[in-house]
Amino acid sequence: MRDAPLFFPQTIYANRKGPAPRVLLAPQRYIQGQGVLANTGKYLQLLGAKRVGILASSRGLKADAKTVINSIEAKGLEVHTSAFDGECSLAEIDKQVEAFSDKFVDCLIAVGGGKCVDAGKCIAYRLGIDVVIVPTLASNDAPTSAVSVLYTPDGVSSGAEFFPQNPAIVIVDTQVVANASTRYLVAGIGDAMATWYEARVCLNNPNATTIMGTRPTLAANAISTICAETLYAVGEAAVESVKANRVDEALEKVVEANTLLSGLGFESGGLAVAHAIAQSYTNLPIVHANYLHGEMVAMGVLTQLMIEGDVDEANKAAEFFAKVGLPIHLGQLSIEVSDTASLNLLAKETSEYATVANMPMEITKSVALRGVIAAHDLGSKVAGKIGDSAYQSLHN
């Protein structure tokens, strides 16, 4: 194990004498398809791995991670497993580094949801080895990036950790995604829909930078655009496919949007209010206990668009969210609009979140609060028109 100091991307990319450079970050390889998990052992030949660590939940170790392990062992590689059953917290990361450090693994595969994936990046960095990400859900855009979101052991957002390299390989088996609960894909759609709206803010504001301290490239902008277009075009169809556990073209496209396009788009295109709102919602216990990241991001998208004054786009997004089952008003995150203590905390945390500095206007506490209420009002109207049957079908 190496003594891994925390990595700060600004120390590499920032430019003291002029504007930040345009930078595109990406994993070395992204592999997506039906049944690809069974080929993991073959893909590891790209890295020359010999002793492989596997991080997955205890349930995962008997399910999807088992497919991964069988495929690696069939290639004659050594496998060491450890069960991840916590938050992506520093305590859990230290515990896992300890578990792997005397096994001399030369590659770590994280098989699971967003928190397991993010913890895998932190553990591999501390061990000084390659990380391979195998997301078993398309519920968020964490897999491709060189950043992990950290939480306290109780699940409250507590900052981020950056790495010099993106994952070496990301492997997404669309049959695994199709077999998972529909709510996860829908949450991933919420997370991915924010990408273009946040990247647009950063592209248009010359003072905005990505979380890496860089300016967006045209490539990241194009990727974010096609991400949103794909979701609006085939998002509803993909939700129907997952309900039937079916892999088809719509599902393949939306899995790519949720994972690859959104991942590259947010990391190299930049974030704004939508994610500041989402991360701030984790401070409200009832929200963080009951809702997924992408569901909080959906509310963040509506809030950001209302702050921007883009009511037409907010309406379009809210109608789409209602049809796929994402929350569009406070009641759908179990918050009463009369709960001023919670809303004030949400607004305060949002105004202090770093990515709001990318907005062209100052996001004070009162601007954030007005945005949250305006989004709630708009969402309530849209829910009255379209109904909440899609949301209810995922939340019963």
x/- contact string, 230-259, with Zn ion (CB under 5 A)? ------------------------------
Give the range of 92-100, 162-170, 184-192, 319-327 binding Zn ion by CB under 5 A. 184-192
Sole window of 89-97, 189-197, 214-222, 253-261 interacting with Zn ion (rule: CB under 5 A): 189-197
Which contacts of 3-11 are long-range, i.e. CB under 8 A and separated by 24 or more positions?
Answer: 4/125, 4/126, 4/128, 6/161, 6/162, 7/125, 7/161, 7/162, 7/163, 7/164, 8/162, 9/146, 9/162, 9/211, 9/212, 9/213, 9/214, 10/212, 10/213
Is 127 within 8 Å of 254 (Cβ atoms)? Answer: no
# residues near Zn ion by CB under 5 A: 1
Host H or E run for residue 31: strand 29-33
Cβ distance to Zn ion smaller for residue 41 or 265 = 265
Stretch that binds Zn ion, among 14-22, 186-194, 212-220, 281-289 (CB under 5 A): 186-194
Stretch binding Zn ion (CB under 5 A), from 6-14, 188-196, 201-209, 343-351: 188-196
Task: Considering the complex, state which of residue 191 and residue 388 has its C-beta at the smaller distance from Zn ion.
Answer: 191
User: How many C-beta atoms surround the C-beta of residue 16 within 10 A?
Assistant: 4
The answer to whether 32 touches 252, Cβ cutoff 8 Å, is yes
DSSP per residue over 13-26, as a string? Answer: H--TTSSPPB----
Residue 43 CB, shortest distance to Zn ion, in Å, is 26
Find the shortest distance in angstroms from Cβ 363 to Zn ion.
18
Q: Which is nearer to Zn ion, 193 or 328 (CB)?
A: 193
Residue placing its CB nearer to Zn ion in the complex, 41 or 113: 113
Phi-psi region of 20 (alpha: psi -120 to 50; beta: other; left: phi over 0): beta
The pair of three-digit structure tokens given for residue 307, joined into one six-digit string: 């702050």
Determine the Cα–Cα distance for residues 315 and 303; give it in Å rounded to an integer: 11
Cβ proximity to Zn ion, 87 vs 191, nearer residue: 191
> DSSP assignment, residue 147?
E
Cβ proximity to Zn ion: between 40 and 304 the closer is 304
H or E stretch covering 56: strand 51-56
Phi, psi of 334 (to 5 degrees): 60, 30
Name 274's Cβ contacts closer than 8 Å, sequence gap at least 6.
194, 197, 198, 297, 300, 301, 303, 304
Q: Residue holding tokens 């105004």?
A: 351
CB closer to Zn ion out of 143 and 379: 143
User: To the nearest whole angstrom, how small is the minimum distance from the Cβ of residue 192 to Zn ion?
Assistant: 8
Q: Which two tokens stand for residue 200?
A: 């647009």
Cβ-based burial of 233 (10 A; exposed 0-12, middle 13-18, buried ≥19): middle
Q: How far is the CB of 19 from Zn ion (least distance, A)?
A: 26
Which of these segments, 34-42, 190-198, 207-215, 362-370, binds Zn ion (CB under 5 A)?
190-198
Q: Which is nearer to Zn ion, 191 or 267 (CB)?
A: 191
Residue nearest Zn ion (C-beta atom): 191
Binding residues among 108-147 for Zn ion as defined by CB under 5 A: none
Interface residue with Zn ion, options 191, 198, 256, 388 (CB under 5 A):
191
| Least distance in angstroms from the C-beta of 31 to Zn ion | 22
CA angle, 75 then 76 then 80, to 5°: 105
In the bound complex, what is the minimum distance in angstroms from residue 262's beta carbon to Zn ion?
8
Q: In the complex with Zn ion, which residue's Cβ is closer, 106 or 118?
A: 118
- Verify binding: residue 295, Zn ion, rule CB under 5 A: no
Name the β-bridge partners of 32: 172
Closest distance between Zn ion and the C-beta of residue 353, in Å?
Answer: 13
Binding-site ranges for Zn ion (CB under 5 A): 191
